[in-house]
Amino acid sequence: MIKIENLSVAFDGTEVVKKLSLTIADGEIVGVVGESGSGKSVTALTMMGLVSEEATITSGKIWYDDTLLLEAGKPRDKALYRSFQGSKMSMIFQEPMTSLNPTKRVGNQVEEMLKLHTTDLTAKQMKEKVLEAFLSVGLKDAERVYECYPHQLSGGMRQRVMIAMAIILHPGLVVADEPTTALDVSVQSQIIRLLRKINKEQKNSMLFITHDLNLAKRLCNRVVVMKDGNVVESGTVNEIFDHPKEEYTRKLIEAVPSREKKMQRFSMNVGDIQNANGQNMPLQRPDILEVKDLNVSYMDGSNSLFSSKKKKQVVTGATFTMKQGEILGLVGESGCGKTTLSKAILGMNKDVEGSIIHHSNQPQMIFQDPYSSLNPAKTIGWLLQEPLRAAGLRDKQFEMTKADREAAAFDMLHKVGLSDKYFYRKSSQLSGGQRQRISIAQALITRPGLVIADEPVSALDVTIQAQIMELMRKLQEEMKLSFLFISHDINVIYQMSDRIMVMKEGRIVEIGETQEIFDNPKEAYTKQLLAEV
């Protein structure tokens, strides 16, 4: 059906895809997995004829059935491609919000497919077909959705619209580039199920690109593992996941946080006394944080002279305590109030009712995106010292000399596993993983008792993710830290936390020991959350 032969794609003379060969049979779902920079997206975009003009095809050919779509050395035949794009091959992208035109109704956007590739339909028939497509992807209120603009739909609905658009002409090939990465876990599963259903009904081939091995395992027939533009290994799902031949594949699979092999955690056991039966008796630990009946709200509405502001309550009646040296995992879908709660604990949101009692000095925060949360204009050394300077300005007792500050910064740099030379670099010279190490160092340099980590590994590749989680655990033990660890990934939470707190729509629905929650979830919502993965 699709045959890619010896494909090489270069940007500015650097090859990002190297002599790649790939075939997709009729009705088959092929997964391409790999970390960022492995060339998986460039491969898909090249195949779709969407790769940017700066890219040069240095070798290879791409066939669709018997049609030669692309050949190295020849200019891209745009007209030929246009007759395939949409009708015979279509694509679903990662970010449904930005991938849909924000100023056009989604119905019209889907309809455009019909306008471009069919000639015999009346306006009324087109609309009917669009509504049909909406229903087939599970958009029940099709009439209303038709009239909506992208921003009026939820993330999952937007992605369904994208899928409806991709399949409305029953193309032979659907390329899905990280279609669930931007979505919540529960929505993620629905989308995966939907893709499988479409594959079954329409018998189209699919190319599924993902960094998430679990997803590839659930959806695909065959998997291709890519690294640095090369195919490392390919085979059926069973071959790849159960009997990986290559070292890299094995490493990748091991790095995925799972529920089977919980990494050994010592911290809670340190100092625990074993009772006569050999069971651990937990030592009484002092509380580090007490939150009681906490309501958090923020002001909604425009800054207008005439309309009064509305208060929107985001967190309702949150009550929990955290012990010293504990990692408390906080899970919930986007919009459930996780971040609002953590900001309230940090004192960044003033509109709170109830009480928050800290038994530690200034808590610190680690953010999700290490790219945007580090000031690009400053050196790493300066960034690391900044919290110390700020503390000194706030309170005379924390004042330090320049030499002491620098020593502390170097010390912290070593603690997070980076060498001295990074002290003089700027964040733009670092990789994502290194940046997140710096973020962690920045949060820990003032030696806070409590650290809030808001999705600290979500933006990272799996292998890096595993390293950062390892690092956080190590530091937690060394420095006797308490972590409030926020994540939407239930498996990451499982690996990291001593206890788990589940939030839904601003309320804490369940809180308990990690193993206990996983083995015997009490709330329906928790069960649903656990079942998704």
Q: In the complex, which residues of this chain contact another protein (CB under 8 A)?
A: 48-50, 53, 78, 81-87, 90-91, 93, 95, 98-104, 112-113, 116-117, 149, 151-152, 162, 165, 302, 304-306
- Count the Cβ atoms, other than its own, within 10 Å of residue 4: 20
Nearer to another protein, 243 or 309 (CB): 309
Six token digits for residue 460? 């990272």
Q: Phi and psi dihedrals of 259, rounded to 5?
A: -100, -10
Taking the complex as a whole, the smallest distance from the CB of residue 385 to another protein amounts, in Å, to 36
Q: CB burial class (10 A; 0-12, 13-18, 19+) of residue 172?
A: buried
Nearer to another protein, 117 or 447 (CB): 117
For the chain, the farthest-separated pair of C-alpha atoms sits apart, in whole angstroms, at 83
Nearer to another protein, 145 or 328 (CB): 145
Taking the complex as a whole, the smallest distance from the CB of residue 130 to another protein amounts, in Å, to 13
User: Given the structure tokens 């940007």, which residue do they identify?
Assistant: 11
Taking the complex as a whole, the smallest distance from the CB of residue 76 to another protein amounts, in Å, to 12
Strands 450-454 and 327-331 turn out to be unpaired
Six token digits for residue 79? 């007209």
User: Given the structure tokens 């003033």, which residue do they identify?
Assistant: 350
Q: Phi and psi dihedrals of 147, rounded to 5?
A: -85, -5
Six token digits for residue 516? 């206990």
Q: Taking CA 487 as the corner, what is the angle to CA 264 and CA 260, rounded to the nearest 5 degrees?
A: 35
Six token digits for residue 99? 């991938």
Taking the complex as a whole, the smallest distance from the CB of residue 24 to another protein amounts, in Å, to 17
Taking the complex as a whole, the smallest distance from the CB of residue 39 to another protein amounts, in Å, to 18
Six token digits for residue 330? 């906080």
Taking the complex as a whole, the smallest distance from the CB of residue 301 to another protein amounts, in Å, to 9
Nearer to another protein, 165 or 255 (CB): 165
Taking the complex as a whole, the smallest distance from the CB of residue 176 to another protein amounts, in Å, to 12
Nearer to another protein, 116 or 281 (CB): 116
Taking the complex as a whole, the smallest distance from the CB of residue 152 to another protein amounts, in Å, to 7
Query: DSSP state, 423?
Result: G
Taking the complex as a whole, the smallest distance from the CB of residue 82 to another protein amounts, in Å, to 4
Nearer to another protein, 165 or 409 (CB): 165
Nearer to another protein, 276 or 305 (CB): 305
Transcribe 157-198 into DSSP letters: HHHHHHHHHHHTT--SEEEEESTTTTS-HHHHHHHHHHHHHH
Beta-carbon contacts of 488 under 8 Å, excluding residues fewer than 6 positions away, are 184, 185, 331, 332, 333, 334, 455, 458
Nearer to another protein, 165 or 484 (CB): 165
Q: CB burial class (10 A; 0-12, 13-18, 19+) of residue 79?
A: exposed
Nearer to another protein, 88 or 227 (CB): 88
Nearer to another protein, 98 or 269 (CB): 98
Taking the complex as a whole, the smallest distance from the CB of residue 103 to another protein amounts, in Å, to 5
Beta-carbon contacts of 103 under 8 Å, excluding residues fewer than 6 positions away, are 149
Q: Phi and psi dihedrals of 496, rounded to 5?
A: -95, -35
